[in-house]
Structure 1
Amino acid sequence: MKPLLFIAAVALLASAPAHSQTLVDPSKVAPEYREAAEKRRAEQLRQRECALKADLEKVLPRDRTAFLTHCLETMAAGQ
Structure 2
Amino acid sequence: MNHLIRIIAISFVLMPPVFAQKLVDPAAVAPEYRDAAEHRRTEQLRQRACSLKAQQAKILLRDRAAFVLKCMDAADASK
TM bracket, shorter-chain basis:
0.7 to 0.9
How far did residue 18 of structure 1 move?
3.6
Amino acid corresponding to residue 66 of structure 2 in structure 1: A
Q: Which runs of 5+ in 1 are unaligned?
A: none
- 1:58 is aligned to 58
Change (3 A) 1:56 1:17: farther
CA distance, structure 2, for counterparts of residue 38 and residue 2 of structure 1: 51
Deviates more, 1:17-26 or 1:44-53: 17-26
Moved over 3 A (4+): 1-14
Amino acid corresponding to residue 68 of structure 1 in structure 2: V
Report how many residues are paired.
78
How far did residue 12 of structure 1 move?
5.2
Structure 1 residues 1-29: Cα deviation after superposition (integer angstroms, max 9, x where no partner): 77665454455567x86411000000011
* Percentage of pairs with the same residue: 50
Q: Which runs of 5+ in 2 are unaligned?
A: none
Instruction: Say yes or no: does 1:48 pair with 2:48.
Output: yes
